[in-house]
Amino acid sequence: MSDVAVECRGLTKSFDVVSAVRNLDLAVEQGEILVLLGPSGCGKTTTLRLIAGLEVPDAGSIRIGNQPVAGEGVFVATEKRRIGMVFQDYALFPHLSVSQNIAFGVPQRASETRVQDGLRVVGLCGVGGRMPHELSGGQQQRVALARALAPHPAVLLLDEPFSNLDAGLRLQVRSEIRDILKANRLTAIFVTHDQDEALFMGDRIAVFNAGSLEQVGTPEELFFAPASRFVAEFMGQADFIRGEITEHGLQTEIGPVLQPVTLAVGQRVEVAIRADDVSLVADPQSKAKVLGRSFRGAVNVYRVRLPSGRIVHSLQPHTLKLADGLLVRVQAEPGHPLAHFAI
């Protein structure tokens, strides 16, 4: 038995002339939640559908468990792949009751117990007799999960499952579903375009850009050590300032940052910096200027223009008030290495 639940090698798929997925390598560990994250049209949903067998790859191979399911002259039909799938629009059968929906993928003799188990797991005991349209959005979502889990799939595929829920419900449902997945040690591949959701759901995250993988790693790795500017930007709230590698480390336009560097001395770089890494001190000699403040309750976020014209944000306690137009000294105090990219 291998520990790899799903493995894709050299996976490629185009529609008409547009290439959706290009030469993709990806592995999911047993019991892991892997999130496929990226902007719309980046190929993450196509990857999921290739794994599900709903699309046929142009090239490359897919294995589920030890079994090759696509490529190498093999194509196993969706229904033989032992996958469970939760669709963006839930895809509950409107002509079947909740129980019948959950029992759909289960052999007749086991269906009674599986339906009861399924309803219990998702906390919906007693609604088995209802029709899907009689349920709320959150309940439909959970029925879709119970239905996908009932046949005991080897891997669960979730395609933007929370995008049809409103914001408050989304937070609640996603933590419920993560608990269910973890409690049952399920392997899951989860597609989303929401980085916040990805950080919350994923054991690991695979960031897609234009049909290829940018980076695969834990949420912390992606957040603190993005491998590319695209990842740093997509993971959110980063400003980019200019800098250069010197003998002493990283020299930026807001001062030096002491940290190990790998690039050659003299290399010009862009440094990703987040609002919590930036401190401000009023200083009439400085050429950086406060442009505005946005009040976020406990904290204030200031927008500051650097002499180079670049904008950075700075997170400050709500007790610190700086007037618009005030000249300030801007310093980087990250407490961790800053991600930087050669330009």
Partner 1 sequence: MRQLSFWRVSGWRWLLRGAAAAVLALVLLPLCYLLVRASEAGPAALQLLFEARTLRVLARSVALALAVPLLSALLAVPLAWLTTRTDLPLRRMWAVVTALPLVIPSYIFAYLLVSVLGPRGLLQQLLQPLGIERLPDIEGFPGALLALTLLCYPYVLLTVRAALLSVDPALEEAGRSLGLSPWRTFVRITLPLLRPALAGGGVLAALYTLRDFGAVSVMRYGTFTRVIYIQYQSAFDRSGAAVLALMLVALTIGLQALELNTRGRARYHRGHAAAKRKPMLVHLGRWRWPALLLCAAVALLGVGMPAAVLLFWLVRGLTLGTPLPALWNATGNSVYVCLVAAPLALLGALPLALIAGRQRSGSGRLVERVAYSAFALPGIVVGLALVFFGARYVPAIYQSVFLLQAGYLILFVPEAFGALRAALGSVNPSLMEAGRTLGRAPAQVLRSVTLPLMRNGVLAALAIVFLTAMKELPATLILAPPGMGTLATSIWGAVTQAYFAAAALPAVLLIGISSVPLAIFTLREAYQ
Mask of contacts with partner 1, 93-122, x by CB under 8 A? xxx--------xx-----------------
List 2, 10, 39, 74, residue binding partner 1 (CB under 8 A): 74
* Helix axis angle, 167-183 to 137-149, nearest 10°: 20
Q: How far, in Å, CA of 258 to CA of 251, rounded?
A: 9
Give the Å distances, CA to CA, from 327 to 206, 288, 297.
41, 6, 24
Pairing of strands 33-37, 188-192: parallel
Total count of residues recorded for the chain = 343
List 29, 59, 75, 228, residue binding partner 1 (CB under 8 A): 75
- DSSP calls for 39-106: STTSSHHHHHHHHHTSS--SEEEEEETTEEEEETTEE--GGGS-EEEE-TT----TTS-HHHHHHTTS
Which is closer to partner 1, CB of 75 or CB of 200? 75
Q: Does 68 sit near partner 1 (CB under 8 A)?
A: yes
What φ, ψ does residue 196 adopt, rounded to 5°? -65, -45
List 79, 166, 220, 247, residue binding partner 1 (CB under 8 A): 79
Part in contact with partner 1 (CB under 8 A); list of ranges 66-74, 113-121, 259-267, 294-302: 66-74
**176 Cβ contact partners less than 8 Å away, ≥ 6 residues apart:** 123, 142
Q: Does 132 sit near partner 1 (CB under 8 A)?
A: no
Closest residue by Cα to residue 50 from 42, 59, 40, 38: 59
Q: How far is the CB of 155 from partner 1 (least distance, A)?
A: 11
Part in contact with partner 1 (CB under 8 A); list of ranges 82-90, 178-186, 209-217, 308-316: 82-90
List 147, 193, 204, 229, residue binding partner 1 (CB under 8 A): 147
Q: Which residue has the tokens 């500017």?
A: 229
Mask of contacts with partner 1, 25-64, x by CB under 8 A? ---------------------------xxx----------
Part in contact with partner 1 (CB under 8 A); list of ranges 89-97, 109-117, 229-237, 334-342: 89-97
Q: How far is the CB of 48 from partner 1 (least distance, A)?
A: 11
Are the beta carbons of 331 and 257 closer than 8 angstroms? no
List 5, 24, 36, 83, residue binding partner 1 (CB under 8 A): 83
Are the beta carbons of 131 and 97 closer than 8 angstroms? yes
Which is closer to partner 1, CB of 153 or CB of 243? 153
Binding site for partner 1 (CB under 8 A): 15, 52-54, 67-68, 74-80, 83-85, 87-89, 91, 93-95, 104-105, 147-148, 151, 157
